[in-house]
Chains A and B, each alone.
Chain A
Amino acid sequence: MSSSPTRLYIPCDSAALSVGADRIAAKIAQDAKQRGLNIDIVRNGSRGLLSLEPLIEVETSQGRIAYGPVRSKDISSLFDANFLAGAEHPLRIGSIEAHPAFKAQTRLSFARVGVIDPLSIDDYKAHGGFKGLAKAITLSSSQIIEQVTQSGLRGRGGAGFPTGIKWQTVFKAEADQKYIVCNADEGDSGTFADRMLMEGDPFTLIEGMIIAACAVGATRGYIYIRSEYPHAMKTMSAAIALAHEHGYLGPNILGSAHSFTLEARLGAGAYICGEETSLLESLEGKRGIVRAKPPLPALEGLFGKPTIVNNVLTLGAIPFILAEGGQAYADFGRNKSRGTLPVQLAGNIKHGGLYEVPFGMSIRSIIMDLGGGTYSGRPIRAVQIGGPLGAYLPAHMLDIPLDYEALSAQKALLGHGGIVVFDDTVDMAKQARFAFEFCAKESCGKCTPCRIGAVRGAEVVNRIIANQDREKNKIVLRDLCEVMTDGSLCAMGGLTPMPVMSAVTHFPEDFDQMPDRKAAE
């Protein structure tokens, strides 16, 4: 047995686990033991190139060498080929940093994800962690907020509201108690960046939240994690406990006058709780019913106290901004969309995954150059951007750049940065109907346009599909969508018309099919 063990990295990210990473890790450990080889397996986050999962990296004299996707049946041949020394093998990828889909990225928020052991504070610090916090505690509140404002960072949950302004509002509010709430209720289909950050580098989120707390004078924080993410909940809770233990949370953080305690809370399967006011209600232990705004949560948020509610990715961008300065972040991007966006490429896609890129890159380039086109190999027909409330765009419109305003000019939205690809087998009338059905199921029920409109909407689409007074019903559909857009209390009812109307506008032929074809379904 050699003196020092060979270090292997095998992800513990849920996506990697979903294709067997735990089984691979167990089998490798077992085989190494049988072969008398001394190895040390680190369970890291995922590099985000999810079609390569389970992706194993071996630390060698030439750096980290990756192999993937590794199946159980490949393991003995990997050992036989001496992969522990980085040797050739059909699954050998080489250095992940040199992989074209990785090299094309600008990893600021996700710099450490997939690189480090998610629960090692030493690893975190060795890779630049807590630098932003160290800087922040030397600055005044206004100076911290100035850096955030200068970065041009906008809310990454979907609304795109300037983060600096939100922080400034909470800072200026007078109160005996303020809160930092992280929205980790990542319910949009096609998104998983929050999950990957929480599972792969939880301290980045914690650091971002501590900095937010220092900036506005908050002493308590909550991370509201959806219950579909049990691994994220486990990792986040463990990281919070470690941070408390090491003096990053609790009283007098790093010897400063700042105190901050943090707790992770589990949601309970309600999509609407991703809406910030509904999330606050849920945290308070009530039904997740949307609140009317104003008052803004920044002034009357959790338990009626001034509260920053920010998405995981917003808070995850903060440590870089403080460590390197707001300008360094603003140097990336275009127009009013500054910095980078962790794009999530999903659905019918060959190489789906998480790609952090600067704003400005075209949607087509992301799908084709990074994602390699559809998984099925069939032509792309539609792409839904920004989750279930985002627009469906046809293949010919994909040259739009990643940019909040450019997308809204096309009656689309960026949302949380999820891109879901559909091939030419998709039926867009069905997708439109689903948008209503989803809204009907997940509406909180407070406002009428959303509660009733969603149900009526699905019925109207069904009549159009069945060719019942089709033209009249198309008019009703437009009218209904207008009412929902203008009259709903929050984005759930207000944006459900977006996928519906984009389907009607860009794929009218799907609403004019002869009904027998649909009836067969």
Chain B
Amino acid sequence: MKLKKVMALMLTLVMVLSLAACSGGDNSNEGGTDSGASTDTTDTSSESTDSESSDTSGSSDVALTVAIWDTNQEPGLTQIINDFTEKTGIKAQIQVTPWEQYWTMLEAGATGGSLPDVFWMHSNEIARYSEYEMLLDLTERIKSSDVLDMSKFPQEIIEIYNWEGTTQYAVPKDIDTIGLWYNKTMFDEAGVAYPDDSWTWEDFRAAAEKLTKDDGSQYGLALRPSNNQAGWYNLVYGKNGYIISDDKKSSGFDLPETIEAIDFFASMSKDGLMPPYEVLAENEEHALFEAGKVAMIMQGSWMLAELCNNEYVIENADIAVLPKDAETGRRPSIYNGLGWAASGNTEYPEEAWALIEYMGSEEAQQKQSDLGIVISAYEGTMDNWTGAYPTFNLQAYLDMMDDLVIRPYSKTTVRWENMANDKMIMAWTGDKTAEEVCLEIATEMNALLAEE
């Protein structure tokens, strides 16, 4: 009897403990080894109580967790991080979470106090993280750094990650531009000249008409309504319209220029120059392009690794600048730039900062471009980027930098952007006119902006 009781008690204890262990395991996202901070860093790690308390064991086995969302960039970034580890002795491990789940993961991490140590930030999401002080304040560290020169980065990208002009929460990583991908074989077959910098949007549409076959085997263009940055935003700004006013208080969807621009693409969809909407909805633009279904797509420079390594694309396609607007003569490229940020309650703030500092250094930025990962944000480091995929005319992406417009954002970008994308479907399918859709979006967006 006694033995039974003891056994039962032990069993119960084991179960309770394992339960506790399970929930503990979910939350400890703080990287592989957690025994002590590195002593190899250039800065002393004695400022924060966090690192002091974990410094006692004295081993140098820190492994930072680095969260990103783009698999295509993982191999290149791993090389750069290896350089960093060689220099400083700080190890870092990249974890890729796809874009759709990345922000859910990050938000859960922030709520539960277990953000990754270092991670990518985006203009859509930075506001909440800044407002609630979830990120490591980099302002002073940047000022006292002799490696990092913020004046070399585009001012607009720095501003995205600057909270109310006082606190800098991230260091710019890259910038992106938009290019026009075209299928040379289809152009040759249809007897249409390749796109060049003389193209206007009217030429673009005329070419799309010629490239569309009646039997539905080939279409001129694929552009989903959700492709705003690489798609219809560019024409909106090309016509001197806008999405959000400079003071971020009112929507620009009710401007005649904006409506005209959206109608341009919506009617290309309605007139059958794009695949039927169902096909467009079920397949991504680049997949249709890679399958030889469409002759043209508009894609950002971040898509290079995907497209330039595709055999069909290598064989048949090339890149040109976007068309310009005939009236205004503008050829804007909506650009954005990611930032490197660190968790506000990381156990290793100095190590995390060391990594961010290195990522923003000229050396790492140069390497990022040279490897063709993305266009680096650091002034003067992008020229070698064109050499990463010599068979393609990557120069087109750099030429697009002459008229850069920052991707529209506000504190609640995701809410109005998703709402606009949802409504835009009706314009693409032709169930509503572009004007009706735009006016609806403007009303709702103004209401959302008023709440900010």
> Are A and B physically bound partners?
no
